[in-house]
Amino acid sequence: MTIEEEVLKKIKPSQEEEREIQKIVEELKDKISKEVKKRDIDARVLLVGSLAKGTYLKNDLDIDLFILFSPSVPKEEMKGHALEIGKRVLPKWKIQYAEHPYVRGEYKGYTVDIVPCYDVKHISKKMSAVDRTPFHTEYIKKHLKKKDEVRLLKQFLKGINCYGAEAKIEGFSGYLAELLVIKYGSFLNVLKNASKWGGKTILSLNESAESFPENFVFIDPVDPSRNVAAALSPEKLKFFIFAAKEYLKNPRKEFFFPREVKPLSKEEMKKLVKNFLGISLPKPDLVDDILYPQIRKAIRSIESFFLKNDFHPEEHGYYVNEEILIVLKLKEMHIPEKKLHMGPPEGEEEHVKSFLLKWEGRRDVINGPYKKEGRWWVEIKREYTDAFTFIKKNIHAINFGKNLNFLKEKVKIYADEELRNEKYAKFWAEYFSKKPPWER
């Protein structure tokens, strides 16, 4: 038995499981249809996503049900009806937000999304991005011949942490995985072709002359104005190409099912966690697609703020659980009190005049202004020489982004000792692990 056959045995649902899920889908469709009828709305229910396409993985399944409204129904009315129906049908529910709100809930142990969209007859008539989804489902059902090959590719992407187009992962969407298998025919052929990708790569199933800013493009066969791979980060693409080459050289089950990383011991943390600062804040109730870009924006702001004040961040990471922890490793935690500041060449009279006007007689000047080797200089006293004190006193001045700024009052600053906490042991293990997932 090949590795791929072994993996497939683990990830492919049995016929009995297929029958059970189909029964639940029919129950839900029936409940939604009754609610639609009760409200006398011009709408129909459609199963979409990997379940409808037959490419879902065992034990990793969401049920995506769309309510397709007639384009004559006003947008606000459409949203109102869909939310009310979702709340009536699902015992436990929560409002989620994409282009417009939808309902996510639990039903008989499965996660279910009930999403409104417009029932447009052609993609060119779409009224929102969500209206594409039924067309995507239809396209894959019509053109995908080898569903198990998609399952293998999805599990491979999961194993190397490259599966999911959401902002948390910035990886490959399920739809992109399906299109790759349609294009190349099999899981192994996808890897063989991926190992040759480089520079500007434009893939398509239909001839198209559309141009896109991204370096890696898969033109949507349903909507040629869209790059299916737009959410894929260059880092995740690069890592997938590397993983593809490694698997082809030495195929192993660990690519699909990597071992869990072992949390670091106290001693290991003491040895490794040095010159780090931690910035901790409570996790707000935000969807991942808003939260993760905000965290990355906050990190860029923090690093920029440090740099402007002569502290040099060398690397960073973050951990999200009930809190958000941002960690930065600095080149030095303490910098000299004295700073040499360069002025203009002595021949530039106007600039010299401004320089002298700015620096003569200031309280923070230790020495100067003075001339040396044809240029003006001044030695000044830094206000902050300790990174921990600096960030603690100035956290209010950093822009964390609109969704995190309101939490600055609750920010805690941690030094190395506090970061060597048992609850961060797994995060640090992953942070310091130099091995790819399949080699852990």
For each of the domains in the chain, give its residue range(s) and CATH number, in order of start. 13-142 (3.30.460.10), 144-258 (1.10.1410.30), 266-334+385-439 (3.30.70.590), 338-381 (3.30.70.1550)
0.85 exceeded by the pTM?
Answer: yes
Q: 155-181, pLDDT tens digit by residue?
A: 999 999 999 999 999 999 999 999 999
376/345 Cα distance (integer angstroms): 6
pLDDT of 423 strictly over 90: yes
Q: 216-240, pLDDT tens digit by residue?
A: 999 999 999 899 999 999 999 999 9
Determine the longest span between alpha carbons in the chain, in angstroms. 88
Partners of 414 in the β-ladder: 278
Strand segments, DSSP code E, in 98-181 are 101-107, 110-118
pLDDT recorded at residue 209 = 67
Q: What letter does residue 223 receive in the DSSP assignment?
A: -
Pairing of strands 375-381, 365-372: antiparallel
Q: Cα separations (Å) of 159 from 1, 33, 155, 254, 257? A: 20, 38, 6, 8, 5
Those residues whose C-beta lies under 8 Å from the C-beta of residue 412, and which sit 6 or more positions away, are 278, 279, 280, 281
- If you average pLDDT over residues 245-261, what whole number do you get? 95
Tell me the pLDDT of the chain averaged across its residues: 92
Q: 299-317, pLDDT tens digit by residue?
A: 999 999 999 889 999 999 9
pLDDT recorded at residue 124 = 83
411/323 Cα distance (integer angstroms): 10
pLDDT of 206 strictly over 90: no
| Tokens describing residue 242 | 């590397």
Contact 419, 276 (CB under 8 A): yes
Q: Which of 177, 184, 78 is nearest to 136 (CA)?
A: 177
| Tokens describing residue 186 | 């099999």
